Amino acid sequence: VSATRSDLRAPPPLDWDGQRLRILDQTLLPAEERIVELTGAADTAEAIRRLAVRGAPNIGIAAAYGLAMEVAREPGLGSLERGASRLVEARPTAANLGRAVQRVRWAAVKAYAEGGAVRMAAAARAEAEGIHAEEDQASRRMGELGAELLAGCGRVVTHCNTGALAAGGRGTALGVIAELADRRPVKVLTTETRPLLQGARLTVWELRRLGIEHELVADGAAPGLIARGQADAVIVGCDRVAANGDVANKVGTYSLALAAREAGIPFVVAGPTSSLDPAAATGAEIPIEERDPDEVREAGGELLTLPETPSRNPAFDVTPAALITALVTERGVARPVDRRTLAALLAP
Between 64 and 71, CB nearer to ligand MRU: 64
**Does 167 engage in binding with ligand MRU (CB under 6 A)?**
yes
Give Cβ neighbours of residue 137 (< 8 Å, ≥ 6 apart): 168, 169, 330
**Does 13 engage in binding with ligand MRU (CB under 6 A)?**
no
How many other CB atoms are found less than 10 A from the CB of residue 293?
14
**Does 315 engage in binding with ligand MRU (CB under 6 A)?**
yes
* Shortest separation between residue 237's beta carbon and ligand MRU, angstroms: 3
Cβ distance 20 to 14 under 8 Å?
no
Residue 289 has what DSSP assignment? Answer: P
Task: From 50-58, 73-81, 102-110, 208-216, give the range in contact with ligand MRU by CB under 6 A.
Answer: 50-58
How far apart, in whole angstroms, are the C-alpha atoms of residue 279 and residue 106? 19
- Choosing from 40, 55, 168, 245, the residue that interacts with ligand MRU (CB under 6 A) is 55
* Shortest separation between residue 54's beta carbon and ligand MRU, angstroms: 4
Local structure of 52: helix, strand or coil = coil
Side chain identity, residue 27: T
Task: From 6-14, 37-45, 227-235, 236-244, give the range in contact with ligand MRU by CB under 6 A.
Answer: 236-244
Angstrom CA distances, 292 to 46, 195, 250, 317, stand at 15, 11, 15, 16
**Does 49 engage in binding with ligand MRU (CB under 6 A)?**
no
**Does 160 engage in binding with ligand MRU (CB under 6 A)?**
yes
Residue 325 has what DSSP assignment? Answer: S
* Shortest separation between residue 315's beta carbon and ligand MRU, angstroms: 5
* Chain residues that interact with ligand MRU, rule: CB under 6 A: 51, 54-57, 94, 160, 162, 166-167, 171-172, 198, 236-239, 249-250, 315
